[in-house]
Chains A and B, each alone.
Chain A
Amino acid sequence: MTEAPLLDAGIAWFLLVAFSVLWIALGVWWGKRGKGDADDYLLAGRNIGLALSTATLMASWVTGNTTLAAPEVGYTLGLWGMLGYALAGLGLFLFAPLAIRIKRLMPTARTSGDFVRLRYGRVCWAVFLLITMAYTLGFLITQGMGAGLLLQALSGFDYRLGMVCVIGVSTTYTLFGGMRGVVGTDFIQSLLIMALLVLVAVLGYSRISVEEVYVALEAEHPSRLNMLLPAGLLFAWNTGLFSMGEVFHNNIWWSRVFASRPSVVFRSFILGGLAWTTVPIVTGAIALMALATNLDVPQVNMVFPLITAELLGSGGAVVVFIIIFASLTSTLDSLLAASADLIAEDVVAHWLRPGISDAQIRQAARLVVVGLGLLTMLLSWQYITSMYQLLLFTGALVASTIWPIAMGLYWPQANRQAATAAMVVGSITGLLAYVLVAPYCAALVSAAVSAAVMGLGSHWNPERFDWRQLAGR
Chain B
Amino acid sequence: MQTEWCMTELQQALLIFAIGAVVTLTTVIMIARGHARWHGRDPYDDPSRAASHD
A residues sitting closer than 8 Å to B (CB atoms) are 90, 94, 97-98, 100-101, 104-105, 228, 230-231, 233-234, 236-238, 240-241, 244, 402-403, 406-407, 409-413, 441, 444, 447-448, 451, 464, 467-468, 471
Contact = CB atoms under 8 A, between A and B. Distances in A.
Given A97-B31, A100-B35, A244-B27, 9 more contacts: A94-B31, A101-B34, A101-B38, A230-B10, A406-B31, A410-B33, A447-B27, A448-B19, A468-B44
B12 A238 contact: no
A101 B43 contact: yes
Contact of A467 (B12, B35, B44): B44
A465 B21 CA distance: 31
Nearest to B33: A410
B35 A237 contact: no
Contacts of B31: 94, 97-98, 406, 410
A305 B45 CA distance: 54
Contacts of A241: 20, 23-24
- Size category, B interface: 20 to 34
Interface of B: 9-10, 12-14, 16-17, 19-21, 23-24, 26-28, 30-35, 37-38, 43-44, 46, 48-49
Contacts of A97: 31-32, 34-35
A444 B19 contact: yes
A238 B24 contact: no
Contacts of A403: 27, 30
The 6 A-B residue pairs whose C-beta atoms are closest, nearest first, are: A237-B20, A410-B34, A230-B13, A233-B13, A97-B35, A104-B43
Contacts of B16: 233-234, 237, 441, 444
A27 B11 CA distance: 52
B26 A451 contact: yes
B35 A234 contact: no
Nearest to B42: A104
16 contacts: A97-B31, A97-B32, A101-B35, A101-B43, A104-B43, A230-B9, A234-B17, A406-B34, A407-B30, A441-B16, A444-B16, A444-B19, A444-B23, A451-B26, A451-B27, A471-B44
